[in-house]
Amino acid sequence: MFSYSDFNNKLSKGSGIGELMLDLGNGLEQAHRQKIEISMLGGGNPAHIPSMEEIFKAKWNELGNDPILLARMLGDYSAPQGLKEFREILAIYLSKQLNAKLTPDHIAITQGSQSAFFMLLNSFSGELESNKTFQKILFPIVPEYIGYLDQSIKRNSFTSIIPIVEKTAKHRFVYKINFDLVKDRISKRDIGAICLSRPTNPSGNIVPSSDMVELYNIAYSSKIPLIVDNAYGYPFPNIAFVSAQLEWKPGMIQVFSLSKLGLPGLRTGIIVADPEVASRIGEMSSILNLAPGNVGSFFVENWLNNGQISQFSNEIIQPFYKEKSNFALSLLDECLNEKVEYQIHESHGALFLWLHFPNHKLNSRQIYNKLKSQGVFVVAGENFFPGLEVDFSHKNECIRLTYSRSPEEVNRGIKILASVLAS
């Protein structure tokens, strides 16, 4: 009805993440209307962990008993870069965890990590009038998070590298970074930043520390930042079944989130970067959002101070998901073995399993649609390859399956998946 700008058309037309969020929001409702049972194995909503919910409830009520704090939290804008006192506490906690000397100036709070990545990915890709070039973000390993796919305001802002596929057991594999291809791509000198999630969403891969060091060295010597998305990782919520520890060093941009602790409704993201980068993010935040919300910061402040956030992560959240992962893996092996050709990426962490069905007559989009028609929501694999410029069989042969839901839902979903694949 109106003339929309390229900006609007680029960002509002049928994105993968939009479809996923619609499935998540509308899937349940639609299923209720049609009175069919559903298995919501699509979205990335964290699980409702009863003991964490008790902790959240107690914290909510504690905040409610302090009228002065409450008045500030609800009634005052924070600085665009986030509350100074909260960034001071974060700096102390994260200095220890990341073996770095961080100050509040290294930190910027955002309206969730999705918002952080919108700012970051567009800050290091696109046009540079000053030297008439066009930079791209390099994803050194794909599949990679669906939420990045459509975040660039300019087309062709992303490029990515096919991984080495390494077999680890009869039905298991792991993706490895192909450093020869990464170095080759970097040498073209149009890369503005290297970016990866760890654990990787969707594969659950935790890129080994030695590879992180190598990536860092490549980025540092190319004078571009290494951006690491720790939304599921170290030090919180630490949904990692192998070590995900990581240091911060100058030139790195690490991003953290409260969502996978179980607080996605509070939209709180945290950027740790060189002060110049953090300050630019603060400036951008003032223009895009005025300021981040306060509730997330007040919620976790004491847990950072006394280290409980690590304790919750390691003693409650991580074991909870580890058990869920094991359950889903056993069930998949039980239901698929001898019936279907399948491979599952090693489950190092995050909430997902990444399933590969080589040479199946159905591609990932067809599997997605058949499952959806029976009330089972997964995410088709093709959405996880931002900037891929070459063919890779996995792109159309994989699905992402969330294992964080109830055993009943997971059980039902996997049984229907097996029947769809075997029929």
Kindly identify the residues of this chain, within the stretch 174-193, that bind a copy of itself according to CB under 8 A: 192-193
Burial class (CB in 10 A: 0-12, 13-18, 19+), 71: exposed
3-state secondary structure of 352: strand
Which one of the spans 25-33, 91-99, 356-364, 406-414 is the region binding a copy of itself (CB under 8 A)? 25-33
3-state secondary structure of 398: strand
Tell which residue, 375, 26, 384, 389, has the closest CA to residue 203.
Answer: 384
Q: Which of 39, 97, 125, 200 binds a copy of itself (CB under 8 A)?
A: 125
Q: Do 404 and 324 meet the contact criterion of CB atoms below 8 Å apart?
A: yes
Residue 274 in contact with a copy of itself, rule: CB under 8 A: yes
Q: Which of 227, 228, 271, 291 binds a copy of itself (CB under 8 A)?
A: 291
Residues in 191-210 that interact with a copy of itself by CB under 8 A: 192-193
Query: Which amino acid belongs to residue 366?
Result: Q
Residue 1 in contact with a copy of itself, rule: CB under 8 A: yes
379 vs 421 by CB, closer to a copy of itself = 379
- Minimum CB separation from a copy of itself for residue 383, in Å? 13
Q: Which of 8, 168, 302, 373 binds a copy of itself (CB under 8 A)?
A: 8
Tokens 């654990």 belong to residue: 199
Q: Which of 174, 270, 277, 335 binds a copy of itself (CB under 8 A)?
A: 277
Residue 87's φ and ψ, nearest 5 degrees, are -70, -30
Residue 230 in contact with a copy of itself, rule: CB under 8 A: no
Q: Which of 30, 31, 45, 308 binds a copy of itself (CB under 8 A)?
A: 45
Cis preceding-peptide flag for 199 (omega within 30 of 0): yes
Q: In the structure encoding, which two tokens stand for residue 258, read together?
A: 């409260």
Number of H helices, E strands in the chain: 14, 16
Alpha-carbon distances, residue 361 vs 33, 294, 357, 373, 400 (angstroms): 32, 50, 9, 18, 18
Residue 51 in contact with a copy of itself, rule: CB under 8 A: no
Q: Which of 30, 31, 63, 411 binds a copy of itself (CB under 8 A)?
A: 63
Residue 294 in contact with a copy of itself, rule: CB under 8 A: yes
23 vs 382 by CB, closer to a copy of itself = 23
53 vs 184 by CB, closer to a copy of itself = 53
Q: Which of 38, 40, 73, 94 binds a copy of itself (CB under 8 A)?
A: 73
Dihedral class, residue 282 (left if φ above 0, else alpha if ψ from -120 to 50, else beta): alpha
27 vs 163 by CB, closer to a copy of itself = 27
118 vs 352 by CB, closer to a copy of itself = 118
Cis preceding-peptide flag for 235 (omega within 30 of 0): yes
Residue 295 in contact with a copy of itself, rule: CB under 8 A: yes
How do beta strands 191-197 and 226-229 pair? parallel
- Minimum CB separation from a copy of itself for residue 46, in Å? 7
169 vs 290 by CB, closer to a copy of itself = 290
Neighbouring C-beta atoms of residue 314, cutoff 10 Å? 15
Residue 208's φ and ψ, nearest 5 degrees, are -60, 150
Q: Which of 31, 92, 100, 153 binds a copy of itself (CB under 8 A)?
A: 153
Q: Do 153 and 172 meet the contact criterion of CB atoms below 8 Å apart?
A: no
Residue 329 in contact with a copy of itself, rule: CB under 8 A: no
Cis preceding-peptide flag for 143 (omega within 30 of 0): yes
Q: What is the largest CA-CA distance in the chain?
A: 64
Residue 123 in contact with a copy of itself, rule: CB under 8 A: yes
- Minimum CB separation from a copy of itself for residue 21, in Å? 5
- Minimum CB separation from a copy of itself for residue 47, in Å? 9
104 vs 381 by CB, closer to a copy of itself = 104
Residue 12 in contact with a copy of itself, rule: CB under 8 A: yes
Alpha-carbon distances, residue 153 vs 9, 111, 139, 347 (angstroms): 10, 19, 17, 33
**How many residues at the interface with a copy of itself, by CB under 8 A?**
97
CA 75/CA 288 separation, integer angstroms: 20
Burial class (CB in 10 A: 0-12, 13-18, 19+), 26: exposed
Residue 56 in contact with a copy of itself, rule: CB under 8 A: yes
- Minimum CB separation from a copy of itself for residue 108, in Å? 11
Residues in 359-378 that interact with a copy of itself by CB under 8 A: none
